[in-house]
Chains A and B, each alone.
Chain A
């Protein structure tokens, strides 16, 4: 199984500042022949189901604000929130869909400082 890790476990950022979340996979999730990284990012607010933010590691889902950016390739990925807003307080999860089981990272909690 591919093991997903995230860092940090939690972070607190001032409004308007940048938040950076890292995700690492135990093996590459890059499908070379398609040149696509099989990695998604989700946001989960308290009491709500998760919401898709990013797929193919860097493609923003329709309707997701452009302050959310996904980057990285192979085994190392980053979700950046360029200017944190109050409504971005949530737990963020990465997930690989390269091979079954499609494992999630443990999550990173983002709060306002």
Chain B
């Protein structure tokens, strides 16, 4: 049972444009969400997080939006840069402490 879903396996965006990565979750107990970026053979790099008491969090070029009623979150990257090309994972945690449940990831390709 996939509790965190990233339905787009890949996304291709032109440099300078907006990248929007989506994530859906099913467990209503999740109340803390994170986005990670990952290159092959490296550990995930933390990008941005949001708790369920907020609906938006910004950090530089990265903004995460949370729609609790739809159980949906999205990561916006503006403007996209070639160095952003990587696999992006959405993760969620809830009542089970620090356990993170990850989505399958979305491969982002930013073309120059």
A pairs with B: no
Residues of A within 8 A of B (CB): none
Residues of B within 8 A of A (CB): none
